[in-house]
Amino acid sequence: MHVFEHLRMNPERPQIRQIKRGGELLRQGCFLVVPTDSTYVLLCLPESVDAIADIRRLRRLDDTHLWSVMCADLSQAAMCVSMDNHAHRVLKRCLPGPYTFILPANSQLPRRIFGKRRDVGIRMPDHPVCSMLLEEMATPLLATTLELPGEDGAAFDPDEFVPLLKHFSCGVMDAGWGGMEPTTVVDLCDGEPILVRQGTGAWPA
């Protein structure tokens, strides 16, 4: 059954009712478009096969696409990655914030999605809408930036991207214009942090 909902959100004081509705859509197997402290992202549950297929079709992604995992807190992150004391201190200092930290994957990472990858990017945005949704779900979500085929960079204007999504089973948590600069990516797999991509988060943090 096709479901599409356009939820207009207050970016600073989201209504609990709308957050809960977003959670219901995710549990029904839809994907969500959600604002973060960097760009809008596409989110779904790791077990939502149809939502993953829709996101791949929307973004024209192949099986090699590097998904991130979005978490509400470090205990959720520990469900997907292994972190030593040094990595834990870095994450605790920087998150929530506009960073993606690459860490060694653990055995709980869904192999159907991530295959034999030995590492994965962890995100924990500092944005009221996204943070409240992650708390509502209480489980890690798959995430990828909302980038549309043929466009250079992230989609940021809901007035432009919402009409392109109406034939997908999804919900749009519209908090106005989003950011255009991606997260700062830091690799923590081998001890000392390695800056992979400078984005909106300052580094060294």
- Tell me the pLDDT tens digit for each residue of 143-192: 999 999 988 899 999 999 999 999 999 999 999 999 999 999 999 998 78
Residue closest to 128 by CA, chosen among 78, 72, 74: 72
**What residue ranges define each of the domains in the chain, with the CATH number in brackets?**
4-197 (3.90.870.10)
Burial 184-198 (b: 16+ CB within 10 A, else e): bbbbbbeeebeeeee
Q: Which residues contact 54 (CB under 8 A, 6 or more apart)?
A: 31, 168, 169, 170
pLDDT for 57: 97
Please answer whether residues 91 and 1 qualify as being in contact, where contact means their C-beta atoms are separated by less than 8 angstroms.
Answer: no
pLDDT for 187: 97
SS3 45: coil
C-alpha angle 80/178/78, rounded to 5°? 10
In the block, residue with structure tokens 């870095």? 90
Average pLDDT, the chain: 95
pTM (two decimals): 0.95
pLDDT for 143: 97
